[in-house]
Amino acid sequence: MAASGATSLDHQDFGLAGKSAFVTGAGGGIGRAIALSLAKAGVKLALFDLVAANLDETARQVRDVGGEATVTVGDVTDRAAVRAAVAAAAKHYGRLDCAVNNAGVLGPLVPTAQYPIETFQKVIDVNVMGVVHCLQAELELMEAHGAGSIVNIASAAGLIGWAGASAYVTSKHAVVGLTKTAGVEYAAKGIRINSVCPAFVTSPMTSDLMAAEASRNAVLAAVPMGRIGTGEEVANAVKWLLSPLSSFSAGLNLALDGGSTVI
């Protein structure tokens, strides 16, 4: 609940009540926060991730807040699995209104010249081709009924450089460019495609960085707000971009970074 008795955004539906949404990487972290926020807005969810137990826990939490969710275990690098899961979501709910392409990996922090090429390729496969597979499946269904809203989870690392994270930075720059291009292509077809670009956010992906004092201090020093973000803050931005309240936004890459990309 917000301060001073104000109503939390979690209790506003943003015009999304009754809509359906496909969410990848929904088993924890930012993906779980997004799923819960959308559930509280009355969105019917189709959740996709690699680990069944994590997905089941997200679905349990969704149902605990009165939401509805189906779960599918799968890998976003598997094009056939993604297409089957998206089609199943649309069949179950009658259509696919929204999608959040969130699944991603960080990879190791290694200087570019020493970065293991197989690991670099894995980061690209998950973070770029995973989004491509999802977008193609989602757009095919949305284009058929002339409406839809998609949010890709990019990163502040898609807007700036980050020493040691060449694979991750490359992949997220690609997601930013893909969002711009697809956003332009489909804007006139009733389908809006945007992204959010979070900086460091509390999640399993950042837990190791924030656990060590030296790296934690370096992260906090780089953020003018002096803190990292929360999954709920990302979820609020996603909810706005999916909703009719952002009806004039297409191809937008929205920074959620505490000011870190403007210094």
User: Does 42 or 6 have the greater pLDDT score?
Assistant: 42
CATH code of the domain made up of 13-200+230-255: 3.40.50.720
- Cα–Cα distance, 157 to 162 (Å, whole number): 7
Question: Tell me, what's the pLDDT at 216?
Answer: 83
Catalytic residue among 93, 115, 168, 186: 168
- With 80 as the cut, is the pLDDT of residue 207 above it? no
Residue 93 bears catalytic tag: no
Is 1 a residue whose pLDDT tops 50? no
Say which residues have a Cβ less than 8 Å from residue 64's Cβ, sequence separation at least 6: none
For the chain, which residues make up each domain, given as ranges? Answer: 13-200+230-255
> Could you tell me if 241 and 179 are in contact, meaning their C-beta atoms sit under 8 angstroms apart?
no
Report yes or no: 209 and 181 within 8 Å, Cβ to Cβ. no
User: 0.75 cut: is pTM over it?
Assistant: yes
For residue 148, which amino acid is it?
A: G
Among the residues of 5-51, which ranges form H helices?
A: 29-40
pLDDT digit string (tens) for 125-171? 999 999 999 999 999 999 999 999 999 999 999 999 999 999 999 99
